[in-house]
Structure 1
Amino acid sequence: MQLYYAPNTISVAVAIALEEAGIEYETVKVDFAAKEQAGAAYAQINPKGRVPALAVEGGILTETGALLEYIADMAPEASLRPQDPVLLARMREVMFYLASTMHVNHAHRKRGHRWAKERSSWKDMQKMVPQTMAASCDYLSRAGLRGPFVLGEEVSIADCYLYTICTWLEGDGVTVADFPKIQNFMTAMEQRESVRAVYAKGML
């Protein structure tokens, strides 16, 4: 299994999940500074030009949420996804919010060209990032975290996703200390071997 990643991107969530699951994997670093993600070679891996991509026995998989679910399927003994339908829906509720809203909020800081041609529009998007990311933190504090982790006491793949996005907060102009539940969540995650492992590999 090979994980195509770039440091400090959402692809790190997949690495954390792989570590939690105890699944062996190789990392393939995609050099964003050299624009490898936009090159012809990487287009054969992921034509979207983004990370993560996960090469598995059946081919190449993309999209963070899909990869996290795949990992949970491959290691049921790790209990990274609940069996209870309500808890499962709650986990996915947070994951879908991260993908559709919080990650997009973050992307407005550096990737405004995805949505607008005028540079003045990009600057407006950038100015909004601290506000929109803080609003996401407020929502997650009130309705996303049901305990130390997303589902309460047990870690799930949603926590791998959320933690990775939370590592962007300070760079996005958010003071994490303003959100004690988020801060406590990050501290709890940083005590886990999975997160320590990705830091040791230079992924974060």
Structure 2
Amino acid sequence: MQLYFSRHSVASTVGIALEEAGLEFEAVKVDFANGAQTKEPYTSLNPKARVPTLVHGENTMTEAGALLEYVADLAPDAGLRPSDPVQVARMREAMFYFASTMHVNHAHRQRGARWASLETSLDDMRKKVPENMAGCCAYVSEHMLQGPFVLGNQFSLADIYLYVICTWLQDDGVNLDDFPKIQDFIKMMESRASVRAVQERGMM
């Protein structure tokens, strides 16, 4: 397997999941600084010009949430996804929130050109990022982290997704001292061998 990534991106979620699953993969860096994601040969793999992209044999797949579920399917004994349907739904509820709300709020800091052109509009979006991300952190603290993990005492794909987003919070202007549950969650995740392995690969 080849996992295409850029540093500090959501692609590291897939790397962590692969490490948790004990699956071998090659991490291939896409140089966003030089716009490699917008040029061949990468656009032939992913015409969306984003990461992650996973190549497994003859199959090329994209989107972090889909790839996380794919890894869980490849390694069902790794415990990345619960067996109880309600818990699966709660895991996906969290992951969809991270993808559709937290990640989008974060992207307004550096990727505002996706939504607006005027510099005044871009500046206004950037200024809202600390407030919006802090609001998300409050929601996560109060309504999602019911235990050490999103699903209480059970580790899942949702924790991987949340952890990677948490690595962006300080740069987004969030004061983590306001969210001790998230601080504890970050420390716990950083003690996992899978997270350390992805850090050592230079993905984060």
TM-score (norm 1): 0.98
Which residue does 1:85 correspond to in 2?
Answer: 85
Residue identity in the other structure for 1:108: H
Which residue does 1:167 correspond to in 2?
Answer: 167
Which residue does 2:56 correspond to in 1?
Answer: 56
Which residue does 1:37 correspond to in 2?
Answer: 37
Higher mean alpha-carbon deviation, 194-203 vs 162-171, is at 194-203
TM-score (norm 2): 0.98
Alpha-carbon offset, residue 58 of structure 1:
4.2
SS of equivalent residue, structure 1 residue 170: coil
Higher mean alpha-carbon deviation, 23-32 vs 53-62, is at 53-62
Measure the CA separation in 1 of the matches of 2:81 and 2:50: 25
Measure the CA separation in 2 of the matches of 1:58 and 1:133: 38
Measure the CA separation in 2 of the matches of 1:126 and 1:88: 34
Alpha-carbon offset, residue 52 of structure 1:
0.2
Q: Structure 1 unaligned runs (5+)?
A: none
Within a 5 Å distance, the mapping from 1:1-204 to structure 2 comes to 1-204=1-204
Aligned residues: 204
Measure the CA separation in 2 of the matches of 1:58 and 1:77: 24
Measure the CA separation in 2 of the matches of 1:152 and 1:13: 20
Measure the CA separation in 1 of the matches of 2:175 and 2:17: 26
- Percent of pairs with identical residues: 59
Measure the CA separation in 1 of the matches of 2:15 and 2:117: 34
Alpha-carbon offset, residue 180 of structure 1:
0.8
Q: Tell me the C-alpha RMSD between the 2 structures.
A: 0.7
Q: Structure 2 unaligned runs (5+)?
A: none
Residue identity in the other structure for 1:192: R
